[in-house]
Each structure stands twice: as C-alpha cells, then as structure tokens.
Amino acid sequence: MRIEQSRIDDINQSLLAEHQRHFEFQSSVIPQAESIIQKLIDFQVAIPSWALGTGGTRFGRFSIGGEPGNLEEKIEDVGLLHKLNKTSGAISLHIPWDIPKNASHIKALAAEHGLKFDAMNSNTFQDQADQKHSYKFGSLQNVKKEIRQQAIDHNIEVINYGKELGSDSLTVWLSDGSNFPGQLNFRKAFQHTLEGLEAIYKELPSDWKMFVEYKAFEPNFYSMTVGDWGQSLLYATKLGPKAYTLVDLGHHLPNANIEQIVSLLLMEGKLGGFHFNDSKYGDDDLTVGSMRPYQLFLIFRELVEGMDARGMSHAKDLGWMIDASHNIKDPLEDLIQSVEAIMVAYAQALMVDDKQLDDAREANDVVTAQEIMQKAFRTDVRSIVAEARRRSGAAINPLATYRALKVRETLVNERGASNKATGL
Ligand SMILES: [Mn+2]
C-alpha cells in the first residue's frame, strides 16, 4: 500500500482550522516556537524491523493481520509511517530475521520511501536452524572458543550486510549471563566478551560506530555480562573511539535515574545510541511515554542540554530508535503513538530556559529549578509538533489519518489476515 499525498492533504485541510487555533495560541506563549519547529522537522527516529508485527511475549502471540511477511513489506510499513509523520525516516534491521537477499534492490526500495538504514542488529541470543553451535550458555562469553568464534563471525557478517545497505553502525546486544550463582566466572566471562567485541571492532569500517547495549536482567536472571551502563562503558572505553554505550530505557533496574546516566555518558562522549520504550515493572514492551512521560521529558532535557554542551547535532550525532514490541495493539498505531510521545518530550525539553535554570541552581533556589522543569513539562506542545509535521507535508494528526485511510484494513486485504511478521 502507498498513501497518496493528496489524501493526506485533504484530511489536513479538514483539520486545519482547529489546528491553527491551537497553534496560534501555543506559538504566542512559547517564545522559541519557530526554532523548536525547525529542530522537530530535522529530527528522525529509526523504526526497528521487529516492531512491525505483534509479538513481544514468550506466551501467546496474537496476529493483528496484514503483518509484513518479508523485508520488502517491512520497508513498506516504515514507509507508510514516514509518509504520515515524516519523522520515521530510517529502519533498523535485524540479522538473520531481515537478510537482504538483493541489497541494491532493497536499498532502492528504501530510497523510494525516503528511508535510510540505521544501526544493524546482530542476534546471538537464539539458535538458528542452520547453526553449528548452540548459544544456550552464552555467545561471546562462552567457555568454548568455537562458540565464541561463531558469534564473532556472525557479527562480522552483519557488518557486511550493513555495508551493502549504507548503514554506519552495529548494535551488539548480548543476552549472555548466568541464571544461577556459581554458574559463571564473572571475570572470565567479561574477558571473553571483551576479546570477542575487539575482534568485531577490528572489522568495523572507519566511519562506523559500534553500540554496546546493556540490559539488567532477562533472559538471564542472576547475572548479565553486559548488565548496566558501567559495564557497557567499560567495554566501550577499552574498545576505542568507535565504540559507544547504547541506553535502552527498559533495560534498567526499577527506578534507575536514567537521566543522570545519560548526562554522564554524554559528558564522557560515550553515549552513542538510544532505544525508546516504556515499562511499569521492567523490560521494554510498552509504548513510549505511556507510563512515565515525566521521566521521558527529564531524559530528553539531559540529552538536549548534554548534546548542546558538546556542540552535537540533535538530529545526527546520536542513534535514535524505538525498541518495543506490542502484543495487543496494531503495531503501526503503537509506533505512531511512540513517535508522537518522543516529539512531545523533545519539544518540551527544548523549551527549558538554560539560563534561568542555571541561575536558580547557582542560587540554590530548588523551588524555582523544579518550577522551570515542570512548567515545560506541563505545557501542551502538541500543536507545535503537529505544525512541524504539517510543514513537512505529513499528517497534522497521523493516528486519525491512519484510521481514516483504513491502512490496516488495506494491509489485511493485500497480505492476508493470518500472516505473522518474522522476528520476535
Ligand atoms: Mn534495545
């Protein structure tokens, strides 16, 4: 399915008068509205290929119908999203779920939809049908050299696919760890993992980055060999300047102060990528901003301030990606909601007056400092975000437009009601 621009324009026309009432008011009370809009227009969030189908659970999986059954259809889905919001201009692939059999064809198809290839993701947390050695007891940490080598070779293969597609980064997330005390020698597991990452790092093209993603628990429940930002930073520091820590919101122990983690990683020049999602108890399965929008805003505030302090481009210098899975929603609707939550938090973060906040801090005026943060968070910036979309040619209201255009119904008609997306 492709969405004609004229259909978006028609729906926008019917929403325009109401949108303009909101926008005129908000832009009159937000002095930096125009500069915020330009930053919103430039900002793109990559969509992971595995978030396009229903999944995200080791229990039941309930297909929504019309799920993309191959890489071409996944690109088509992200193209639909990007058409609606002009903010989802990149796709992140997962090998072996999305092996591009004909890279130039895949590249051309993505370009037709205005999409780039974001970070490539390797997979050593499952055994594939044709795989020689099992990762049951870990991949890069494994006590067996031949298993570690197999995991290294796989990551190099992923880099090679990425080179063909024009990607420029590799995300390594390892499920390695242990389930029971005594199972693992922590130092040996670390050293093996470091050696493996070094072997992969050596194969990175000169303009590539490697992101070392951490996760506090699951699938291992006693220890994770890359379990927190300290361990990830240790690997990234030992590896060298092309290696960075990747922060996934859902990969922390409950109530972790993620905004502080982000701030310090940025200070050290070691924050490379970011995975958005949300959770109440743990893990990464819920729609961005659905549980803790204030936390999301506080994180964005540190991202914006920390990037500005280093003269970094918000749009280009970090890898922004959604990483979530959905079990009961239409995945495309969920992604529309997630991108909207990201843009709202970003716009609010851009509203904070650095000078005022700094003055309050220097005066130890705790009350004013808190007021400045909450004022930005409580400002309704949705019409500012919508205006940025409208100026990009996207939908003023992507969710309403998605429903009005009957996108899911069309995809079910085209692809069938029962096909399931490959991946999680
Ligand atoms: Mn992630």
DSSP string computed for 339-400: HHHHHHHHHHHHHS-HHHHHHHHHTT-HHHHHHHHHHHHTS--HHHHHHHHHHTT--SSHHH
For residue 199, how far is its CA from the centre of ligand 1 (angstroms)?
A: 22
For residue 284, how far is its CA from the centre of ligand 1 (angstroms)?
A: 8
For residue 366, how far is its CA from the centre of ligand 1 (angstroms)?
A: 34
User: Strands 271-276 and 223-224: what pairing?
Assistant: unpaired
- Report residue 285's pLDDT band, with 50, 70 and 90 as the boundaries: confident
Find residue 322's DSSP bridge partners.
Answer: 276
> Does pLDDT of 388 surpass 80?
yes
Compute the distance between CA of residue 191 and CA of residue 198 in angstroms, rounded to an integer. Answer: 10
For residue 158, how far is its CA from the centre of ligand 1 (angstroms)?
A: 17
For residue 322, how far is its CA from the centre of ligand 1 (angstroms)?
A: 8
Contact 275, 248 (CB under 8 A): yes
Compute the distance between CA of residue 203 and CA of residue 200 in angstroms, rounded to an integer. Answer: 5
For residue 323, how far is its CA from the centre of ligand 1 (angstroms)?
A: 5
Q: Which amino acid is at 13?
A: Q
- Report residue 391's pLDDT band, with 50, 70 and 90 as the boundaries: very high
pLDDT at 178: 98
* Phi–psi pair at 318, nearest 5 degrees: -125, 150
DSSP letters, 206-226, are TT-EEEEE--SSSS-SSEETT
Radius of gyration of the chain (CA): 22
Model confidence pTM above 0.75: yes
For residue 39, how far is its CA from the centre of ligand 1 (angstroms)?
A: 25
Task: Reply yes or no: is the peptide bond before residue 241 cis, omega within 30 of 0.
Answer: no
Compute the distance between CA of residue 348 and CA of residue 295 in angstroms, rounded to an integer. Answer: 12
For residue 52, how far is its CA from the centre of ligand 1 (angstroms)?
A: 15
For residue 351, how far is its CA from the centre of ligand 1 (angstroms)?
A: 28
- Report residue 57's pLDDT band, with 50, 70 and 90 as the boundaries: low
Compute the distance between CA of residue 46 and CA of residue 119 in angstroms, rounded to an integer. Answer: 9
| Residue closest to 120 by CA, chosen among 52, 49, 62, 65 | 49
pLDDT at 176: 98
274 three-state secondary structure? strand
Compute the distance between CA of residue 318 and CA of residue 367 in angstroms, rounded to an integer. Answer: 32
- Please write the tens of the pLDDT for every residue from 154-180: 999 999 999 999 999 999 999 999 999
Compute the distance between CA of residue 412 and CA of residue 215 in angstroms, rounded to an integer. Answer: 35
For residue 129, how far is its CA from the centre of ligand 1 (angstroms)?
A: 24
pLDDT at 326: 75
- Report residue 421's pLDDT band, with 50, 70 and 90 as the boundaries: confident
| Residue closest to 143 by CA, chosen among 202, 188, 92, 196 | 188
For residue 213, how far is its CA from the centre of ligand 1 (angstroms)?
A: 7
Compute the distance between CA of residue 38 and CA of residue 385 in angstroms, rounded to an integer. Answer: 10
For residue 283, how far is its CA from the centre of ligand 1 (angstroms)?
A: 9
For residue 275, how far is its CA from the centre of ligand 1 (angstroms)?
A: 5
